[in-house]
A and B are shown apart, each in its own frame.
Chain A
């Protein structure tokens, strides 16, 4: 069965960076794009970006440009999301999510499997 298993909760100080991992199993890793979505009490669910699990190319939401880096390791079927220059507003649950294959081309996508979430707390 498809599983996305994320790394554990993190506590960081303002200005620091955090790197969250997401290990995929139960499907061919390189056949699906993976995304990162965060959930905050204030902003709700926010899409952060996408990584091509095969080629490694990325595209980030404007909000996070310059602060986020997504990478992947095909040998371990793992994707990573690093967010830098953390501030208190980045306190959130961060999810990786698999892009569902759709039968019609769309600019965006929907997410059929999600990781369990990683709580990142930013506090001095």
Chain B
């Protein structure tokens, strides 16, 4: 199975500041020929299921604010929240879908400073 490792485990950021979460896969999850990166990001708030934010590493799901952006390729990926809002407090997970079983990172908790 492909192992997904996120860093840091937790992050404290001031309102309006940038938050950056990293995700590293144990195997490349990109098809170079198609320029596709099989990486998704989810946001989970307490007591709620995960919510899809981004797929193909950088495509925002419908309705997701543009302060959320994703980047990366190969084995290294990043989720950036450009200007942290109070409602962004949550745990964020990356997930690869290059192979089955699709696997998730351990999560990064984002809090307000």
Q: A residues bordering B, Cβ < 8 Å?
A: 44-47, 59, 61-63, 95, 97, 100, 102, 104, 106-112, 114-117
Contacts and interface: CB of A to CB of B under 8 A. Distances in A.
B107 A111 contact: no
Interface of B: 34, 36, 38, 40, 48-52, 55-56, 61, 93, 95-107
Contacts of B51: 114
Contacts of A117: 49
A95 B56 CA distance: 23
Contacts, number: 63
A106 to B, nearest CB: 5
Nearest to A109: B97
A44 B49 contact: no
A39 to B, nearest CB: 8
B38 A106 contact: yes
Given A106-B98, A107-B98, A108-B98, A47 B49 contact: no
30 contacts: A44-B104, A44-B106, A44-B107, A45-B50, A45-B95, A45-B104, A47-B103, A47-B104, A59-B100, A61-B101, A62-B101, A100-B55, A104-B34, A104-B36, A106-B38, A106-B98, A107-B98, A108-B38, A108-B96, A108-B98, A108-B99, A108-B100, A108-B102, A109-B102, A110-B52, A110-B55, A110-B102, A111-B52, A114-B51, A115-B49
